[in-house]
Structure 1
Amino acid sequence: MKRAVNIEDLRRRARSRLPRVVFDYLDGAAEDEITLTANRRGFQSIQLVPRILGGGTADLSTQILGHRYAAPFLIGPTGLNGIYWPQGDLHLARAAADAGVGFALSTASNMSMEAISAQVDGPKWFQLYPWGKPDFSKSLLDRARAAGYSALIITLDSLVGGKRERDLRHGFSHEIRMSAPVVLDGLMHPGWLASVWLGRSRPRFENLVAFLGDGASDKELADFTRSQRNPHFSWEDVRRIRRQWDGPLLIKGVMCAEDALRARQEGADGVIISNHGGRQLDGAPATISVLEEIAGCLDDGATVLLDGGIRRGSDVVKALALGAQGVLLGRATLYGLAAGGYDGVARALSMLADEMQRTMIFTGCGSTDDLGPHNIARPCRERDRASPERE
C-alpha cells in the first residue's frame, strides 16, 4: 500500500482487483446517483479558513459516547464485506482497533458478532436493521449485549430497498448470480476469484444463520433478508428497542431537524446524519449540507455523527467544525479492504489521520475541541448581511 497516497488510489486498486459486479455494488448508489455525487460536492464546496502560526501539532483524539478514540472517525457498519476480501469484517475491525478508532458491525456482516468480539479487542458497536418481528431484533440485541458490544445503531433509512440500477443490471441482490458475463469477468480477476469465490466458504450473512440453521446457503440467507424488511417500523418500535437496550443508542438515517428532535424525544442518545451513501433515496441532500441545522437544534448532551462522502481528512475537519462529534467511514475503508485486505484498511485510516492533522495545523487548531464554525469560510455576502447597514 506504499504507493497509495489517497483514498482515490485505493478506489482505483479496488476497481482493478474486483469483478465489475462486485465493484459496482461497492461503488454504486440509487437511480441517477445524484445524492452519491452530492455527498462529495457538499464537502468540496466548503472552504476552510487558514490560520498562520497556530502551532505545529494537532491532537486528533475525541470523546464519543464515553470513550476516547485516537481520531474522530469510526469504521461504520457495512454488509457483505466478505465479497471484497476473505474475512473482510475481521480485517476492518482489527485495523480499527489497531488505529485506536471505533468500529461498528452490521447485522448483514459475513462474520458473526460473536466471532468478531472473540478476536478483536476494543470498543465495538452493533448496527441493527429492524427486520422481521420483535423477536428477531430482541434475539440480536441479546447476542450483541452478551458479546460485549457497547453501543447500538438502529438504521432507519432502508425499510425498503433503494433502486440501485448498477446492481439490477448485473442481477445482483445480496448474492452473486452466475451468468456467462459474470463468470467471464470473474476469470479475468483471478486474485479475487481464488481468494473469495473459490475459497473455503462463500460469504453469507452469519448473524442470521441462527434463524435458518447452519445448513443455510448464501442464497437462502439473502432471500431471508429481503423477506424480513419491515416498512411499517414505527417510533413505537424505537421505544420498544430503547427499553430492550440499556446502553447508548443512536438513530441512523436522520436528515432533518424534526426527526433528530423526535429521536432524542424517544430516548436516543444521539443521531447519525446519513443518506445511506446515496443508496436509498436519490435526490436527498448531501449529509454535510444539513449537519449544521441538525446539530444546532439538539441539546448539548446529544451525540451527532455523520457519514456520506468522506474521502479526505479535511472532510472530517469540516464535519467537526459544523457540529459533528465524529464521522463514520463507509466506502473509504471498503476501497482499502478491496484493494489490500487489512493493509488496505490500515492505509486508508492512516492517510485520513495524516490529512486531518495537516488540515488542523493549517487552520490553527491544536485539538478537535478547537474546531467550530469560525473555521469555515463564509461568503462575503453572508458577512455583509450579518452586519448593520451603513447609512
Structure 2
Amino acid sequence: MVQRQIPKPAELAELMRFKTPTFNPTDRRLEKALTIADLRAIAKRRTPKAPFDYTEGSAEGEISLKRARQAFQDIEFHPSILRNVPVVDTTRQVLGGPSALPFGIAPTGFTRMMQTEGEVAGAGAAGAAGIPFTLSTLGTTSIEDVRKANPVGRNWFQLYVMREREISYELARRAAAAGFDTLFFTVDTPVAGARHRDKRNGFSIPPQLTPGTVINALPRPAWWINFLTTPKLEFASLSSTGGTVGELLDSAMDPTISFDDLDIIRGIWPGKIVVKGVQTVADAKLLADRGVDGIVLSNHGGRQLDRAPIPFHLLPDVAREVGSDLEVHLDTGIMSGADIVASIALGARFTLIGRAYLYGLMAGGRRGVDKTIEILRTEIVRTMKLLEVASLDELGPQHVTQLARLTPIARGVTDAAAAAASAKPTVVRTPRAAAPRKAPVKK
C-alpha cells in the first residue's frame, strides 16, 4: 500500500515556483531557440519570402548545399573516457591574431535586406564575442561603418575582382586604411550562379514589388516598418546599385580573373591574404607554393556551381597536403557546434558561418546574432567535453570518421593533371611521396 498524506503548504510552495515572465517579445522568441534550426524557423515566420529565399537558397537544383549539409550528418564521433576535462579551451590563434571560438562570421551580401541592422549587428556581436567579422564587397554597410560597429575587434574584408579593376583596388585600400587585418580574395565567382529562387522572386536592391510580394509581406509588418523607416538600402561599398542578384554579379565580376590579379592585390594589401573558394587539392598546392596565408575550402555555400565538391570531404586531403604551409579554413553547410568540432578535428584551422548567422539576424537583429553565437559556443563546449578533449589542439582525425555515402566511380581529372593544366606557380614544389595505401581487409 502507498502511504498518503495531506500536502504541506511549504512543499506546495516549492512546486509552484513560476518562471519570471519575459516581457520583451524579441527576448521571448529567442529564449525558446535551442538550435540554429530553431532560429531558422523564427526567421522564416518574420521575413518576407524574397530575402528569406536569398538566404536559404543556392544554385540550380541546390544539390551542392544539400550534399554539404548531409556530409556533416554522415560522421561518427569517437569519444575518449576518463580524461578529466571540467573546463575546455575554445580559443584559437588564426591569421596572426586571437579568436575566442574556432569560427567567425562569413561575408554575406544584401545583409540589411534580411534585417535592417545588417552588418552592424553582425560586427557588433562578433566583437563582443571575440571572433572575427567578415564584410562582403556586396555588403549593405560601408567599410568605415563596420569599423565603427566593431572598433576593437577583428574585421576582415572579402573582395571580388571586378571588370573595372580600380574599383577592387580602391576597396582594398579603404579596408586597409580602416584597420581590417585580413583580405579574402574570392575566386569562385567569375560569373553568377543560376539562383532560380532569386529570379522567381525578383530579388533585387531595391525590392521589386509585385502583388505576390505585397501579399507575402502582410503578416510581416515589422520587417516592412524597419525597411521603410531606415536609410536607403544599397551596396554601401559600391557606387552602382539595382538589378537582380545575377545581373549585378554578371556586370561586376570578371571571368578573366587570374593569378596575375592575385599578385596585384597582394602588392596592395598590407595584411594577411586568404584565397576563398578553393575546391581541389591541386589548387590548394598551387596557392601554398605562392605563399598566401590561408585558403577557404568553399563552394560559396552551394550558390555558384551546383554539384561542386563538398568542402568537408576535401578537408582531410587538403589539410594533409598543405596544412603545414598555410591555414586551411572551411565553410558551407555548417549548422551546429558539432559541425565545427568535426571540421577542426579533420584539419581545419578555422571555420566560417553564413546562413546560421543570417538566421539569427532575421530572428532578432543584434540579439539574434548574439543568440547564434551563444548556441554554437554551447554546442562546441558540450561536444568537446563529451569527446573529453581539453583544447582544440587535442582534436584530431582519431575523433571523427566520415561515413561514405557518395563514392566516386572514376575521377574525370587527376590532381596531377589539374595541376599541369593550371597556371604554373612562381615556386616549383618538390613532389611529396604519396601516403602508403592500406591493404584491403578480406572478409
Structure 1 Cα separation of the partners of residues 441 and 54 of structure 2: 53
Structure 1 Cα separation of the partners of residues 163 and 218 of structure 2: 38
Equivalent residue for 1:191, pick from 196, 218, 222: 222
CA displacement at 1:220 relative to structure 2: 10
1:9 equivalent in alignment to 2:38: yes
Equivalent residue for 1:134, pick from 150, 165, 173: 165
Residue 231 of structure 1 aligns with an amino acid whose one-letter code is P
Structure 1 Cα separation of the partners of residues 403 and 46 of structure 2: 43
Match of 1:286 in 2: 310
CA displacement at 1:173 relative to structure 2: 4.1
1:164 equivalent in alignment to 2:164: no
The 5 Å alignment of 1:367-382 reads 367-377=391-401
Structure 2 Cα separation of the partners of residues 95 and 218 of structure 1: 29
Match of 1:152 in 2: 183
Residue 48 of structure 1 aligns with an amino acid whose one-letter code is F
Asked whether the equivalents of residues 203 and 218 of structure 1 are also in contact (C-alpha less than 8 Å), the reply is no
CA displacement at 1:221 relative to structure 2: 11
Check 1:308–1:223 CA distance in 2 against 1; reply closer, same or farther (3 A cut): closer
The 5 Å alignment of 1:101-140 reads 101-120=131-150, 121-140=152-171
Match of 1:51 in 2: 80
Residue 57 of structure 1 aligns with an amino acid whose one-letter code is V
Match of 2:56 in 1: 27
Asked whether the equivalents of residues 205 and 221 of structure 1 are also in contact (C-alpha less than 8 Å), the reply is no
Structure 2 Cα separation of the partners of residues 205 and 279 of structure 1: 19
Check 1:98–1:114 CA distance in 2 against 1; reply closer, same or farther (3 A cut): same
Check 1:282–1:199 CA distance in 2 against 1; reply closer, same or farther (3 A cut): same
Asked whether the equivalents of residues 38 and 285 of structure 1 are also in contact (C-alpha less than 8 Å), the reply is no
Secondary structure of the corresponding residue to residue 291 of structure 1:
helix
Match of 1:248 in 2: 272
Check 1:98–1:264 CA distance in 2 against 1; reply closer, same or farther (3 A cut): same
Secondary structure of the corresponding residue to residue 337 of structure 1:
helix
**TM-score, with normalisation over the residues of structure 2?**
0.82
> What RMSD, in angstroms, separates the aligned Cα atoms of the two structures?
2.1
Q: Quick check: which has more Rg, 1 or 2?
A: 2
Match of 2:127 in 1: 97
1:298 equivalent in alignment to 2:322: yes
Match of 1:274 in 2: 298
Structure 2 Cα separation of the partners of residues 280 and 117 of structure 1: 29
Secondary structure of the corresponding residue to residue 33 of structure 2:
coil
Match of 1:332 in 2: 356
> Which segment drifts farther, 303-312 or 292-301?
292-301
Asked whether the equivalents of residues 33 and 282 of structure 1 are also in contact (C-alpha less than 8 Å), the reply is yes
Residue 255 of structure 1 aligns with an amino acid whose one-letter code is Q
Secondary structure of the corresponding residue to residue 104 of structure 2:
strand
The alignment covers a number of residue pairs equal to 379
Secondary structure of the corresponding residue to residue 47 of structure 1:
strand
Structure 2 Cα separation of the partners of residues 328 and 81 of structure 1: 16
Check 1:21–1:389 CA distance in 2 against 1; reply closer, same or farther (3 A cut): closer
Check 1:360–1:83 CA distance in 2 against 1; reply closer, same or farther (3 A cut): same
Match of 2:174 in 1: 143
User: Equivalent pairs: percent with the same residue?
Assistant: 38
The 5 Å alignment of 1:302-317 reads 302-317=326-341
Asked whether the equivalents of residues 64 and 326 of structure 1 are also in contact (C-alpha less than 8 Å), the reply is yes
Secondary structure of the corresponding residue to residue 63 of structure 1:
strand
CA displacement at 1:219 relative to structure 2: 5.2
How big is each residue's C-alpha offset from its partner over 1:189-209, in whole Å with a ceiling of 9 and x where there is no partner?
Answer: 11111112x123232101113
Residue 113 of structure 2 aligns with an amino acid whose one-letter code is I
**TM-score, with normalisation over the residues of structure 1?**
0.92
How big is each residue's C-alpha offset from its partner over 1:228-247, in whole Å with a ceiling of 9 and x where there is no partner?
Answer: 22111111111111111121
Match of 1:62 in 2: 92
CA displacement at 1:147 relative to structure 2: 0.5
Residue 159 of structure 2 aligns with an amino acid whose one-letter code is L
> Which segment drifts farther, 332-341 or 175-184?
175-184
How big is each residue's C-alpha offset from its partner over 1:36-70, in whole Å with a ceiling of 9 and x where there is no partner?
Answer: 10111001101110222222221100110111111
Asked whether the equivalents of residues 87 and 110 of structure 1 are also in contact (C-alpha less than 8 Å), the reply is no
1:229 equivalent in alignment to 2:253: yes
Greater relative contact order structure (CA < 8 Å, 6+ sep): 1
Residue 26 of structure 1 aligns with an amino acid whose one-letter code is T
Name stretches of at least 5 consecutive residues in structure 2 with no aligned partner: 1-29, 405-436
> Which segment drifts farther, 167-176 or 345-354?
167-176
Structure 1 Cα separation of the partners of residues 270 and 325 of structure 2: 17
Match of 1:182 in 2: 213
Asked whether the equivalents of residues 275 and 286 of structure 1 are also in contact (C-alpha less than 8 Å), the reply is yes
How big is each residue's C-alpha offset from its partner over 1:168-221, in whole Å with a ceiling of 9 and x where there is no partner?
Answer: 11122454211111122122311111112x123232101113xx5xxxx65599
Structure 2 Cα separation of the partners of residues 363 and 28 of structure 1: 33
Structure 2 Cα separation of the partners of residues 387 and 357 of structure 1: 37
Residue 43 of structure 1 aligns with an amino acid whose one-letter code is F
Asked whether the equivalents of residues 74 and 402 of structure 2 are also in contact (C-alpha less than 8 Å), the reply is no
Residue 325 of structure 1 aligns with an amino acid whose one-letter code is R
Asked whether the equivalents of residues 281 and 317 of structure 2 are also in contact (C-alpha less than 8 Å), the reply is yes
1:40 equivalent in alignment to 2:64: no
Counting helix residues as a fraction of each chain, which structure ranks higher?
Answer: 1
